């Protein structure tokens, strides 16, 4: 019959690896005994005694190393506590990488980027519209024009109405119809 050392098993049941903050501490330290420590508060972390969570990252309670804000988001603030605090990328801009503190750049011509875009060519401009660089929504082709293909880059990409046809309204994907006699 095997003899089991219950005191050894019992002592390991209280060991949890991680970073903790001792009472009154401003920077967390590694500590493996729960009876003398508490988990680091949200918005802080410990990786070589670092302290507050840096911009572009978030640190839930007990974080050893900051989590990076995801593509499509950014943050220039410190001490974020959750992924929800990373801001959606600004309209007309894109955030194409992890851990950003500012947007990566403007949305490309022929595309538009509402908030939260993670690439410069996020949404192609539909027919009847155009999108200049940095667009957050498509712009309708003006009266007397149409555009039957996607990804217009400027008002100059809207086609004048075809001779013998009329174009009534804005944002047309094709001429409205043939001109009447006379």
Give tens-digit pLDDT for 146-175: 999 999 999 999 999 999 999 999 999 999
pTM of the model: 0.73
Angle at 135 between CA 132 and CA 138, to 5 degrees: 85
Count CA atoms within 13 Å of residue 89 on its CB side.
30
pLDDT at position 2, please? 44
Spatial CA neighbour of 69 closest among 103, 41, 112 = 103
If you count DSSP H runs as helices and E runs as strands, how many of each does the chain have, helices first?
1, 19
What pLDDT is recorded for position 65?
A: 85
Delimit the domains of the chain by residue range: 15-88, 90-182
Q: If you average pLDDT over each of 1-15, 26-40, 44-58, 126-140, which comes out highest?
A: 126-140
Which pLDDT belongs to residue 61?
A: 82
- Tell me the H-state helices in 52-159: none
pLDDT value at position 8?
Answer: 35
């Amino acid at each position: 019959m095997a003899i089991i050392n219950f005191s050894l098993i019992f002592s390991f049941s209280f060991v949890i690896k991680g970073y903790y903050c001792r009472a009154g501490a401003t920077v967390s330290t590694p500590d493996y005994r729960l009876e003398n420590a508490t988990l680091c508060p949200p918005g802080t972390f410990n990786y070589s005694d670092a302290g507050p969570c840096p911009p572009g990252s978030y640190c839930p309670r007990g974080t050893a190393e900051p989590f990076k804000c995801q593509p499509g988001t950014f943050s220039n603030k410190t001490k974020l506590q959750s992924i929800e605090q990373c801001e959606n990328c600004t309209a007309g801009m894109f955030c194409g990488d992890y851990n950003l503190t500012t947007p990566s750049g403007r949305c490309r011509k022929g595309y538009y980027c509402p908030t939260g875009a993670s690439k410069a060519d996020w949404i192609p401009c539909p027919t009847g519209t155009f999108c200049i660089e940095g667009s957050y929504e498509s712009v309708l082709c003006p009266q007397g024009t149409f555009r039957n293909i996607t990804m217009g880059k400027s008002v100059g990409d809207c086609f004048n109405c075809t001779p013998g046809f009329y174009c009534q309204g804005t944002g047309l994907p094709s001429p409205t119809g043939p001109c009447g006699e006379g």
